[in-house]
Homo-oligomer: A and B are copies of this chain.
Amino acid sequence: MLDYQAILEEIHQSLNSVKDTGEVASYIPELANVPKEKFGIHLQLITGENFSVGDASEKLSIQSISKVLSLTKAFQLVGNHLWERMDVEPSGNPFNHLSLLELENGIPRNPLINSGAIVVADILLSNLKNPKKDFLDFVRNLAHDNTISFNEKVAESERLNGYNNYAAANLLKSYGNLHNNVEDVLDFYFHQCSIMMDCRQLTNAFFVYANKGKCLKNIQHLTASQVKRINAIMLTCGFYDEAGEFAFEVGLPGKSGVGGGIVALLPHCFTIATWAPALNPQGNSYLGMKALEHFTTKTKLSIF
């Protein structure tokens, strides 16, 4: 068997020497102030074994990683009706581009770009009694961890600087693809993005996608078919306009966030989360991508 701990440590070591790793997201102070040198990996096997290096137990702002979790909840609630309001195709465009949305009459390309995730948030708002509380409970249940919370300061900062998201939400509204009002939907959306989790908690929450829909405690949250579909969306759409590159270099379904986190998984085998706050120009964690590339190369474990 592979010595996973040794592999993680080797990766940690080899990436330590990389100098130019990109820039920490700077559009809100809460992200700008995160030290650039933070680095952590957590690996959880389907068998329950866990391996860690670096800052894997320090909380990070999960940001866009939350889009997979909100998609999951919405998929549970409305099933394939989801696809009446968004598509499942890669966008081939940077993550914040409204052009495609306009060209395609308000139907987002997929649920993992901002406009798609805003429609997912709208669906949750329409279908949950206490949207923010219920969604947080859902994430806590998935990860079996009641310490997971929103970061209100982050959510508020996002609200004050989220002009591009306001533009997207209003454009969706102009096409009739937002049923609740803009402020309410974005309040929910900014909260979901503000959730704080550490790398281990991320692997806990994403266990369900590696385990045919069953979470850590063996509760069935999704059907095998739903899991297959969510994993497919992560693979083709999880990394903004670098989805092809991530599939090509790493070969795992996964999702990144501007907080510098990435979580990825191999069905029936493992989930893995990395954290390194400096981002490449496409908005993905530079060292996180490198770490996962090393990991799948060293272990020869990928979906391909």
So how many copies of this chain end up in the complex? 4
A225 at the binding interface (Cβ < 8 Å): yes
Is A300 on the interface with B (CB-CB < 8 A)? yes
When the two chains form their complex, are residues B98 and A102 in contact, meaning their CB atoms are under 8 A apart?
yes
A1 CB → nearest B CB, Å: 18
The 19 listed contacts between A and B (C-beta, < 8 Å) are A88-B244, A88-B245, A90-B244, A92-B92, A98-B98, A98-B102, A99-B103, A163-B170, A164-B170, A164-B174, A166-B170, A166-B173, A167-B167, A167-B168, A167-B170, A225-B297, A232-B251, A233-B244, A235-B247
In the bound complex, how far is the Cα of B164 from the Cα of A173, in angstroms? 8
Q: Is A124 an interface residue (CB 8 A)?
A: no
- Measured CB to CB, the nearest residue on chain B to A175 is B163
Known: A241-B89, A243-B89, A245-B88. A231 touches B167 (CB 8 A): no
Q: Which of A225-256 contact B (CB under 8 A)?
A: 225, 227-229, 231-233, 235-237, 241-245, 247-248, 251, 253
Give the contacting residue for A248; candidates B170, B171, B233, B247; CB below 8 A: B233
Distance in angstroms between the alpha carbons of A90 and B166 in the assembled complex: 27
For A145, the chain B residues whose CB sits under 8 A away are none
A110 within 8 A of B: yes
* B-chain residues with CB within 8 Å of residue A300 when the two chains form the complex: 224
| A57 part of interface (Cβ distance < 8 Å) | no
**Which of B166, B174, B228, B304 is close to A235, meaning CB atoms less than 8 Å apart?**
B304
Question: Chain B contacts of A296 at CB under 8 A?
Answer: 228
> Quick check: is A267 within 8 A (CB to CB) of the other chain?
yes
Q: Do the beta carbons of A89 and B167 come within 8 Å of each other?
A: no
Residue pair B98, A171 in contact (C-beta under 8 Å): yes
List, in ascending order, chain B residues with CB within 8 A of A109's CB.
92
A250 (CB) vs chain B CBs: closest residue: B232
Q: Out of B235, B241, B247, B304, which one reaches A227, CB within 8 Å?
A: B304
Q: Is A93 an interface residue (CB 8 A)?
A: yes
Residues of B within 8 A of A182 (CB): 163, 166
Q: Is A219 an interface residue (CB 8 A)?
A: no
Q: For the complex, is A285 an interface residue (Cβ under 8 Å from B)?
A: no
- Determine how close the nearest CB of chain B comes to the CB of A256; give it in whole angstroms: 15
Contact with B along A253-267 (1 / 0, CB 8 A): 100000000000001
